[in-house]
Structure 1
Amino acid sequence: MSMASPYGTIHGVGLGPGAPDLLSVRADRLVREARHVAYFRKAGRPGQARRIADGMLRADVVEIAMEYPVTTEIPLTDPRYNMCLSAFYAQCTERLAALARAGEDVVVLCEGDPFFYGSFMHLHSRLTGTVPVAVVPGITGMAGAWNATGVPITWGDDVLTVAMATLPEEELVRRIRDTDALVVMKIGRNLPKLRRAVAAAGREEAAWLVEHAAMPDQRVTRLIDATSVTPYFSILLIHGEGRRP
C-alpha cells in the first residue's frame, strides 16, 4: 500500500505571452490558490512573470523573488558567466526544495512555456529526483507574436526555424536563408547585426518585428521600418509561403 508523499510539489506554471486571459484553466487555478509563489526578475524590476500575475494572487501569499546576478560585465564565453549562473540556480533550487520538503507547494511563475528557453528548466533539472516537480504548459511568446501579425506562420510543409539573435552573424545568415518560416528571439542590442543578416539572406522585405506581443503596448512593424532600439520583449518573424490547397 503506497503512502502519499509528505513533500509539497514545485509547479512550473506557464503564464503565456503576456495577457492574463491567455493562461490555461489549470495555470489560473494554481496561481490563484498558491500560498508560495516564486518568480525570476532582474534586480530593481518587478519581473514580467510577476506582472502577468498581478491581481491574481491571494492576500496572504508569500512571494519569493529570485533576482538574477548582475552578469553584464562578464562575456557569455567566459567560464565565470556559467559559474555565476550555476551558483544562482543552485541557491534558488535549495530555497524551493526546502519548502517542498516542509510539505509546502510552490508555484513558480514562468513567462511563455516553462520548457521553451525559460529559466525554470534550470531549476527543473536540479529539482527532479529530489522533490515532486510538475509543469503546466503555456502559450509561447512566439505564438503570441505571429498571431499579432494576423498571418499564419507556416503553410503545408514549411520548415520553421527558431533562432537567437545572439548567434554569430554568419550563422544567422545561413539559418535565415535556409528556412521557410523564421522566428528570432533575444534581439535587444543585437538588432543591427540581425538587420544585416536578414538583408544578406535576401529576406528583408518579408521580415516583421513584433514588440510586446499580447501585451497592452503591443506593436507590429516591418523590420525595414523599425527603430534601432528594440525592447527585450521583441520577436522577428518571417512567414512561410508553403503549399496551400
Structure 2
Amino acid sequence: MTGGYGTIHGVGLGPGAADLMSVRADRLVRGARQVAYFRKQGRPGHARRIAEGLLRPDVVEIAMEYPVTTEIPLSDPRYNACLGAFYASCTERLMDAAQGGEDVVVLCEGDPFFYGSFMHLHSRLAGRASVEVVPGITGMAGAWNASGLPITWGDDVLTVAMATLPEEELVQRIRDTDALVVMKIGRNLPKLRRAVAAAGREDAAWLVEHAAMEGQRVTRLCDIEAAVPYFSILLIHGQGRRP
C-alpha cells in the first residue's frame, strides 16, 4: 500500500556539525513541511539540534519520545516488547502524516542504517509507504577524524562493538582485532576500562567525546577520571601494512 501516500525519507545528518550534511540531506531538511525525529522525554533530541536553524517557518514537527526503559534489563523480554510497541506507534504516526501524498523527513543522527532507530521504522514501513534513505557520515568516522589518525592501514580488520556487550565478549573482541571502535559507552565505562586492560591494550585506547560537535574532546582512555557523556566513542587505531 503506497498509493495516496507521500514518501518517508530517513535522512542521515552526520555526526553533529550541520555543515557535514550531504547536499541532498540539506535540501530535504530545508524543504520539508513535516519533520519527525526521536528524542528522550524533556529533551530536544540530538538530531533536532543538528537541524536547528534549517527548518522552514511553517514546519510541522513530529517528536517521537522514547519510552523509559532504564529499569528493564536488555535480556528481559519486556524490553523488546516495550520498544516494539513504541516503534509500531511511531510507524502509524508517520503513515498518518504521509497520508494524502505529503512527504515526511525523519531526522537521523549519523547514518540511518548504522545502529539507528530509523531502521526499526523502515522495517515496519516496508510495503506500506515509499521509503527512501539518505546516507550520512557516521559518528565513528567523525571520531577517528577528530583523533587526527587513520583508523586502519593496509589489511587491518576493523571491529565495531557496543559497550553493552558482556565483559568477557568485549575482552575477546578487543584482543582479537587490529582496529577497534566501541560505541554506547556512557554508564558502561567501568566495564569497558576493565575489558581494555584485560586485553592488554590500555596504551592504545583513546576516547572521543562529542565528535564533530561543540565540546569535542580527544583523550587517552587512561587519562579519563570521570564519567563520560553518551556521545563518546572509544578508538584503537590499526597499525597495519603501509608503503
Alpha carbons 1:37, 1:64 under 8 Å: kept:
yes
1:147 to 145, 148, 170: 145
Moved more, 67-76 or 113-122: 67-76
Write the distance in 1 (CA, Å) between the matches of 2:242 and 2:74: 42
Moved more, 100-109 or 31-40: 100-109
- Counting aligned pairs with the same residue, the percent is 84
Write the distance in 1 (CA, Å) between the matches of 2:4 and 2:80: 34
Matched to 1:62, the amino acid is: V
Write the distance in 2 (CA, Å) between the matches of 1:157 and 1:125: 34
Match in the other structure for 2:136: 138
1:5 Cα deviation after fit: 4.7
Alignment deviations for residues 118-172 of structure 1 (CA, whole Å, 9 cap, x no partner): 0000000000100100000000000000000000000000000000000011100
Match in the other structure for 2:191: 193
1:227 Cα deviation after fit: 2.3
Match in the other structure for 2:97: 99
Write the distance in 2 (CA, Å) between the matches of 1:103 and 1:221: 49
Alpha carbons 1:192, 1:228 under 8 Å: kept:
no
Write the distance in 1 (CA, Å) between the matches of 2:4 and 2:167: 51
Q: Secondary structure at the match of 1:21?
A: helix
Matched to 1:115, the amino acid is: F
Match in the other structure for 2:232: 234
Q: Secondary structure at the match of 1:98?
A: helix
Matched to 2:127, the amino acid is: G
Q: Secondary structure at the match of 1:84?
A: helix
Write the distance in 1 (CA, Å) between the matches of 2:5 and 2:92: 14
- Moved >4 Å (runs of 4+): none
Q: Secondary structure at the match of 2:181?
A: strand
Q: Secondary structure at the match of 1:231?
A: coil
Alpha carbons 1:16, 1:138 under 8 Å: kept:
yes
Match in the other structure for 1:50: 48
Q: Which runs of 5+ in 1 are unaligned?
A: none
Match in the other structure for 1:215: 213
Q: CA RMSD in A?
A: 0.9
1:28 to 21, 26, 29: 26
Alignment of 1:75-114 (within 5 A): 75-114=73-112
Alpha carbons 1:112, 1:139 under 8 Å: kept:
yes
In the alignment, structure 1 residue 127 sits paired with structure 2 residue 125: yes
Q: Which runs of 5+ in 2 are unaligned?
A: none
Matched to 1:72, the amino acid is: T
In the alignment, structure 1 residue 14 sits paired with structure 2 residue 12: yes
Write the distance in 2 (CA, Å) between the matches of 1:215 and 1:65: 22
Match in the other structure for 2:65: 67
1:177 Cα deviation after fit: 0.3
Moved more, 221-230 or 117-126: 221-230
Matched to 1:103, the amino acid is: G
1:100 Cα deviation after fit: 1.7
TM-score using structure 2 length: 0.98
Alpha carbons 1:207, 1:223 under 8 Å: kept:
yes
1:80 Cα deviation after fit: 0.7
Question: Number of aligned pairs?
Answer: 242
Write the distance in 2 (CA, Å) between the matches of 1:102 and 1:80: 35
Write the distance in 1 (CA, Å) between the matches of 2:69 and 2:222: 32
Write the distance in 2 (CA, Å) between the matches of 1:227 and 1:38: 37
Write the distance in 2 (CA, Å) between the matches of 1:46 and 1:100: 23
Write the distance in 2 (CA, Å) between the matches of 1:82 and 1:46: 24
Matched to 2:48, the amino acid is: R
